[in-house]
A and B are shown apart, each in its own frame.
Chain A
Amino acid sequence: MTIDLVVHSAVGIGGGLYLFYSGFRELRIKRTIENIPTSKINTGAVGSNVEIKGQIDSEVQTAIQAPLSGKGCLFFSIEIQQEVRSKDNSYWKTLDQCYSHDGFYLNDGSGARALVYVRGAEIKREKSDKEFLTRSNRLDELPPSLIQALTEHRDKLKRFKWENSSWLFSNRIRFLEWCFVSGEPLYVLGSVRSGFKAEKRKKLKFKYFLSAKNKIEQDESLKDRYDENRDGNLDPEELERGAKILGYHHQTSQEKEEEKPKPAVKMIFHHTPPHPFIISNMKEGTLVKKMNWVSALKLFGGPVLALAGIYYLTLNFL
């Protein structure tokens, strides 16, 4: 009984102190989010603590199916947790996490895209989309789509042993899934390095130049427009310059209709400790409100827990 009490009290004190520290960390990140204005991907500066808001870009990534929910999405994550039980309580311990891709693209409509590498990021979502519960002695009975996803990312699973344990020592295992669907609005705060340069202005294609030249030659009003020296006669130089202007105009408008040019990648987000790296599908205001509550709970709950631990210790030993 005494040893149990000491262990519980020590866990309470340790946990309380950790919660207290973690509350301050949450508060600091919340203030960072509030203090940093949103940058535009195309023109924002790179460095630490860059905030962007945009939609997950479906133009460059093909849709995939999330293994548990079966949702059509562009990016998914599977978190594998194991239940750890003691005499009185139990909790879920994360063993591993794997993602469908290393990252995803975000587009904020400013004319460029950001590439977000997810590893190391703090993902703040309202809740996980789907979960699957099993036991460690029944790992061969997983749904086929989950088996396929885990097989594809097996090399990234370091702590999860994908083999059946004996029935006697089996634990509960939980698979949590969340995913980002096409066009989902996301908030990202993190360190940024520069992406590739913007696409250069395209050269005038000869066919557009030629068709513009023919058009000017046949159209009196166009001849008049490009007659620079106003002598009533369109010189070959004037015709060439006019054909260049008109041809380029036709080419750009034609190309805009035919293909939507893909915006360049201007920002690359990646995990750079000790700077915060946050990805959330909540609006900035909602995220800040949630962090406010979480930090307040931790800042008050932590000391209460630690003091309760101290109280039980002193009650029995002093």
Chain B
Amino acid sequence: MDMVFLGGILFVLAALVGYFFTLYNGLVALKENIKKAWANIDVILKQRYEELPKLISVCESFAKFEKGILDRLMSARENYQRAQSMGEKAVASGQISSGLQGLFALAENYPELKTNQNFMQLQERISQLEETLADRREFYNDSVNNHNIRIQQIPDVFIANFMRLQEVEMFQVSEAERQDVEIKIDLPEF
């Protein structure tokens, strides 16, 4: 009977240790998932960053094209280049997205530019990157949400406190992206 009792105590101890490890490893995985999700966004931001000069140079080759929007895009690109932290990169990314929205909307006014093969290819490529970016941002926010919920739930909260885990901020749409794009278009009347 003593052996059974001892065995029982060993099982309880093993269960407690095992459960602690499961919770601990789960929280580590959640923390690393956020890093991975951000790294997957960063890859797309970098790809978009590299496509911008090509797009700007195609637009610049059209003498009539409004320079203001290109300058804004260039300055947003420089901001992204300077950005170090996740937050700074997110803000600069929002400025680029807003600039691109403006540029593509303005391009509607230039049929010559719209039919340019290079412009068409770049537009498609950047649109795909934007779409991927939106989905990965959603994925990142889901990962952050899972993390933030877990570290406040019992029993994870005890281990999260022990690991000094803190809430992580979501990747929100910037003010610049939320604003409507203002463009003056002189459309011929039908």
A→B interface (CB under 8 Å)? 20, 24, 27-28, 31-32, 34-40, 42-45, 47, 110, 198, 201, 221, 224-228, 230, 238, 241-242, 244-245, 299, 303, 306-307, 310-311, 313-314, 318
What 4 pairs across the A-B complex have the smallest Cβ distances? A37-B142, A43-B135, A303-B11, A45-B40
Interface size class of B (residues with CB under 8 A): 35 or more
In angstroms, Cα B9 to Cα A307, docked, is 11
Distance between A23 CB and nearest chain B CB, rounded to angstroms: 9
Taking A228-B112, A303-B15 as contacts, is the C-beta distance between A32 and B29 under 8 angstroms? yes
Q: Given the complex, which residues of A lie within 8 Å of B63, measured CB to CB? A: none
Q: Given the complex, which residues of B lie within 8 Å of A299, measured CB to CB? A: 15
Nearest B residue to A228, CB-CB:
B111
The reply to whether A35 and B150 form a contact with Cβ atoms under 8 Å apart is yes
- From B22, B131, B188, A24 is in contact (CB under 8 Å) with B22
The reply to whether A311 and B22 form a contact with Cβ atoms under 8 Å apart is no
- From B1, B19, B36, B115, A244 is in contact (CB under 8 Å) with B115
Nearest A residue to B23, CB-CB:
A31
The reply to whether A40 and B115 form a contact with Cβ atoms under 8 Å apart is no
The reply to whether A226 and B111 form a contact with Cβ atoms under 8 Å apart is yes
B8 at the interface (CB under 8 A from A): yes
Q: Given the complex, which residues of B lie within 8 Å of A241, measured CB to CB? A: 111-112, 115
Distance between B130 CB and nearest chain A CB, rounded to angstroms: 10
B118 at the interface (CB under 8 A from A): no
B→A interface (CB under 8 Å)? 1-4, 7-8, 11, 14-15, 18-19, 22, 25-26, 29-30, 33, 36, 40, 43, 111-112, 114-115, 120-121, 124, 128, 131-132, 135-136, 139, 142-143, 146, 150, 188, 190
Distance between B4 CB and nearest chain A CB, rounded to angstroms: 5
Q: Given the complex, which residues of A lie within 8 Å of B2, measured CB to CB? A: 314
Q: Given the complex, which residues of B lie within 8 Å of A38, measured CB to CB? A: 142
The reply to whether A221 and B15 form a contact with Cβ atoms under 8 Å apart is no
In angstroms, Cα B3 to Cα A224, docked, is 97
Nearest B residue to A238, CB-CB:
B111
The reply to whether B135 and A44 form a contact with Cβ atoms under 8 Å apart is yes
Q: Given the complex, which residues of B lie within 8 Å of A318, measured CB to CB? A: 3
The reply to whether A35 and B190 form a contact with Cβ atoms under 8 Å apart is no
Distance between B147 CB and nearest chain A CB, rounded to angstroms: 8
The reply to whether B139 and A37 form a contact with Cβ atoms under 8 Å apart is yes
